[in-house]
């Protein structure tokens, strides 16, 4: 049933999204809403709007606190988020979520000024996540079917850290999320 995954997603964003987003003056929910709003504003497909909304859901399904990177821990939130979302969504949503950390590493390796655009906590987590990609990793990343969507998601992720930015509520994005559900929201079997 479609209502179950939507209710769980809404509950996570509204209930667990109050945790601080890294070193920023926003919370996880605000970060998610800003990223989704930017994707929607740019006319991106529902899948990318949904991925933008849910890209950090992995932070909300673990119990490592608001900023595990400060303790030297890579929470692997992209993998946790992917594992959570794959039960309801196809690769057009789940792969950009899974790859958004790799996309940061890719951009740091391929754009000379990208590292200078990163926030302090993104620089810290970059070191825990393997640093900029090697040339071989860049080539392998570019070969992935969802790499371009992951790179775009990463750009929204970096931009979605604005204190007091007005956004629509979670409910505004749920129709796009619902349109992306696989098989009417039934878990993958």
Q: What's the rounded Cα separation, in Å, for the pair 12 and 7?
A: 9
pTM to 2 decimals?
0.87
32-46, 51-65, 122-136 — which is least confidently predicted? 51-65
User: What local confidence, expressed as pLDDT, does residue 68 receive?
Assistant: 52
Model confidence at 186: pLDDT above 50: no
Q: What's the rounded Cα separation, in Å, for the pair 177 and 100?
A: 18
Please report the DSSP string for 30-68 in residue order.
Answer: HHHHHHHHHHHHTT--HHHHHHHHHTTHHHHSS-S-S-G
Domains present along the chain, CATH in parentheses: 3-185 (1.10.3210.10)
pLDDT digits (tens, 9 = 90+) for 92-149: 999 999 999 999 999 999 999 999 988 877 887 788 888 999 999 999 999 999 999 9
Please report the DSSP string for 107-167 in residue order.
Answer: HHHH-TTHHHHS-HHHHHHHHHTTSSPPHHHHHHHHTSTTHHHHHHHHHHHHH---TT---
């Amino acid at each position: 049933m479609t209502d179950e995954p939507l209710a769980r997603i809404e509950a996570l964003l509204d209930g667990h999204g109050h945790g601080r987003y890294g070193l920023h003056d926003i919370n996880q929910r605000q970060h998610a809403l800003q990223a989704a709003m930017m994707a929607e504003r740019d006319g991106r497909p529902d899948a990318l709007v949904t991925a933008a909304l849910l890209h950090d859901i992995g932070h909300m399904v673990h119990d490592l606190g608001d900023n595990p990177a400060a303790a030297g821990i890579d929470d692997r939130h992209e993998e946790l988020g992917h594992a959570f979302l794959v039960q309801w969504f196809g690769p057009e949503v789940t792969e950009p979520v899974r790859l958004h950390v790799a996309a940061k590493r890719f951009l740091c390796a391929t754009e000379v000024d990208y590292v200078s655009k990163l926030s302090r906590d993104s620089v810290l987590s970059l070191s825990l996540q393997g640093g900029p990609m090697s040339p071989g990793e860049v080539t392998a990343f570019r070969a992935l079917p969802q790499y371009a969507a992951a790179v775009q998601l990463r750009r929204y992720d970096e931009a979605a850290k604005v204190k007091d930015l007005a956004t629509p509520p979670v409910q505004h994005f749920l129709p796009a999320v619902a349109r992306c559900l696989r098989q009417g929201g039934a878990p993958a079997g």
